[in-house]
Amino acid sequence: MPETMTALFGGAGPDWTPRQVPVPQPGPGQIVVRAHAVALNNADASMLAAAPTSGGTGAEYRAGFEFAGEVSAVGDGVQTPAVGSRAMGTTPGSFTQYVLADHRHVLPVPDELGYEEACALPTGLLTEHGALTVAGFQAGQSVLITGVSSSIGLIGVRISRALNASRIIATTRSSAKRELLDRVDRPRG
């Protein structure tokens, strides 16, 4: 790995600013992923809008949250993902060439996905899986998903199916998306 990398910083003006910073080294429980693609998260846009020229505080931050790439290094105690494997994840400051992340916030990239698709999934996947876990969901139970026509809602359907929900009940506020609701609870054949 190189000694320095480019990272994007925000908070000092209306745009992100590239800067050279040291490539991170993983500590215990951490991994470093060489980013091949990053995704613009809703939080990124609102943080950029809070810059001083837009009435914000001007507190500097390293931009980005979602990424996908190849694992370059792992810290002590990390069994998976292995160096060289394809991974996607979420962590603050991911608009960099090498992303340092907690291994618990990193997932394998399925073979059928490219990095460009994979980088947009981690926050939604971890949010929906976390919600089901915190709620104590168990296979065979029903799941209610509000706002199912959103990207997060659609991810919730997929995760609920993968975890063997007996029934998925879905809602939307848009009458134009009613047809989507008719298809949500039907298993794919």
Q: How far apart are CA 70 and CA 84, in angstroms?
A: 6
Query: Letter for the amino acid at 51?
Result: A
Report how far apart, in Å, the C-alpha atoms of 150 and of each of 13, 129, 138 are. 31, 16, 24
**Could you tell me if residue 189 is inside a domain?**
no
**Could you tell me if residue 138 is inside a domain?**
yes
Residue 144 and residue 52 share a domain: no
Judge contact between 23 and 98, C-beta under 8 A.
yes
Which residues constitute the domain of residue 157? 125-184
Number of domains in the chain: 2
Domain boundary (73, 100, 119) is at 119
pTM attached to this predicted model: 0.79
**Could you tell me if residue 144 is inside a domain?**
yes
Task: Work out whether strand 167-170 and strand 142-145 pair parallel, antiparallel, or are unpaired.
Answer: parallel
Q: How far apart are CA 81 and CA 88, in angstroms?
A: 10
Could you tell me which residues come within 8 angstroms of residue 73 by beta carbon, excluding any fewer than 6 positions away?
1, 25, 26, 31, 32, 83
pLDDT for position 58? 66
Residue pLDDT tens, the chain, 189 long: 899 999 999 887 778 889 999 999 999 999 999 999 999 887 887 777 776 665 556 678 899 999 999 999 999 999 888 999 999 999 999 999 999 999 999 999 999 999 999 999 998 888 888 899 999 999 999 999 988 888 888 889 989 999 999 999 888 887 777 776 666 555 554
Residue 141 and residue 102 share a domain: no
For the CA atoms of 65, 68, 74, 79, the dihedral, rounded to the nearest 10 degrees, stands at 110
Residue 106 and residue 21 share a domain: yes
Residue 171 and residue 114 share a domain: no
Residue 106 and residue 14 share a domain: yes
Judge contact between 62 and 9, C-beta under 8 A.
yes
pLDDT for position 187? 55
Residue 155 and residue 91 share a domain: no
Judge contact between 57 and 32, C-beta under 8 A.
no
